[in-house]
Amino acid sequence: MMTEFIRDHGSNHKEVRLPHGQLHVFANDEVFSALDHKVYQMADNNLRIPRNVYMSYTPDAHVGIGTCIGTTAVWDLKDGFVSPSIVGSDIGCGMRVHLTPLRKEDIQDKQLRREIIEAIERYVPTNERASSQYKDIRLEDVVTEGLYGLPKRYVPDAYTPKKTRSFTHVEHAKFSFNTDYLDEIPDKMWARAWGQLGTLGGGNHFIEIQSVIIQEENRHIAEKWGLFDGQVVVMIHSGSRAWGGMLGPRYTRDFKKAMELWGVGTPDPNLVYAPINTEQGQRYLNLMYSALNYAVTNRHMIAYGVREGLKDVFGSEFEMPVLYDLMHNYALKEPHRNRGMLVHRKGTTRALPPGHPLNSPAYKETGHPALIPGSMGTSSYIMVGKKEGEKNFYSICHGAGRVRSRRATKETVTVDQFSQSLKVGTEDEILVNQRTLASILDECPQAYKDVDQIIDSVVGANLASVVAQCRPMAVVKGV
């Protein structure tokens, strides 16, 4: 599909006129020119949904199911629409970073890093069919209360209320919703989701042990956050597992039936939507919040397992406080332009600037950490939002973004190329938990865009700035 008109606003911000509306794209020239023409077709389909207020792509945008990953789409709460397709199937998928007192040189030894990986795997199941180790946690408490639904034994700082970072240093510790909708959830879904709490999942989900390089211009922010050069941090990427995974298809079917009844649709059968104030819209939104509660709790429990593993290696006094936890697949009710909006983010990260009222109190002064993962063999980034990000509803990228499908990656990238990107055989080798690289070849760095170009696009658009670069040292992947 050819775009009819492109207006260049400068600062890596282009506005594309499509047949059914305007699409804003935040990307430098190199990234913009490489965008697949299919992303414009998908955007135009999305813009067919009535009364859209705003739609944009971050530089990591790539084709997804129904909607591109890297999409921010906004509707007014009064007369707008909600779309499960523009939330994504892994509801609440997001990032989490924990601080440690370790320095890079403390774990430079490859045998020690191998020991760390094995210790983590004792506590965090990485096999898709593995079951949760936390049978004393009530799933109903988790999906209704979020982190507050956990027994205190799983919240390391629960006994020091004034220092309970577990609840204060997260985007949301709990989402409130109408719990009556939970009565519609079948028993088999409850059972499966209960069995997955604290498990990693497959695909692009991971646990990484990383070393930090502070960006000089934001050193004062890094210090306030507790970051320092050479520090070892733990980055976690996971979502709502079976709970969100089963909600998406279930309610997508409901939306399709309703759309047929209303006589509406788009050329893409995978793109579904409904008015926010309909029964379908309210059911989905309320149950989506339950999945967000599950997702943040799942990442917390993964981190709990990592902490237990690192205690086995470094002693019982070892602690790793949370820096921040946030999501990049959801639809949030937010105030913008002096009215309530429903902001869909599918593969985009909220990055609020200093002083923004939606910041958690812990980050009111500085703005919160915006956590951007790389691709196993490349750096990840910790950023902070800028006031200018208001133009994009404070959304930035969520990662590098795929440049090849899983199948295409396996067909075009060799294990040797993957091995070279992980520096296998050198002192700086990025160790992975999988016995063969072939088993995770579809997640190799070559499957993704150049993350440095993605970050350059975001910084050049004045949406956010880099606080720290995080280089991988050891990676735990699920299969």
For residue 56, give Cα distances in angstroms to 25, 26, 446, 459.
Answer: 6, 8, 25, 16
Which of 364, 295, 305, 353 has its CA nearest to residue 325? Answer: 295
**Is 329 among the annotated ligand-binding positions?**
yes
**Is 81 among the annotated ligand-binding positions?**
no
SS3 287: helix
CA–CA separation, 268 and 49 (whole Å): 12
Which of 145, 56, 97 has its CA nearest to residue 395? Answer: 56
Locus of tokens 């440049």: 403
CA–CA separation, 248 and 65 (whole Å): 12
Tell me the β-bridge partners of 381. 372, 469
**Is 401 among the annotated ligand-binding positions?**
yes
**Is 399 among the annotated ligand-binding positions?**
yes
Q: Contact at 8 Å (CB) between 422 and 471?
A: no
What H or E segment, with its residue span, contains residue 296? Answer: helix 279-314
CA–CA separation, 416 and 433 (whole Å): 17
DSSP state of 93: -
**Is 205 among the annotated ligand-binding positions?**
yes
Q: What is the largest CA-CA distance in the chain?
A: 63
**Is 300 among the annotated ligand-binding positions?**
no
**Is 380 among the annotated ligand-binding positions?**
yes
How crowded is residue 311: how many other Cβ atoms within 10 Å of its Cβ?
A: 16
SS3 346: strand
User: Does residue 62 carry a catalytic annotation?
Assistant: no
**Is 208 among the annotated ligand-binding positions?**
yes
Q: Contact at 8 Å (CB) between 409 and 390?
A: no
**Is 400 among the annotated ligand-binding positions?**
yes
**Is 286 among the annotated ligand-binding positions?**
no
Q: Contact at 8 Å (CB) between 48 and 9?
A: no
Point out the catalytic residue in the list 13, 98, 169, 398: 398
**Is 183 among the annotated ligand-binding positions?**
no
**Is 207 among the annotated ligand-binding positions?**
yes
Active site residues: 398
Q: Which residues make up each annotated binding site?
A: 90, 204-208, 237, 328-329, 373-376, 380, 398-401, 477
Q: Which residues make up each annotated binding site for Mn(2+)?
A: 90, 205, 237, 328
Q: Which residues make up each annotated binding site for GMP?
A: 204-208, 328-329, 373-376, 380, 398-401, 477
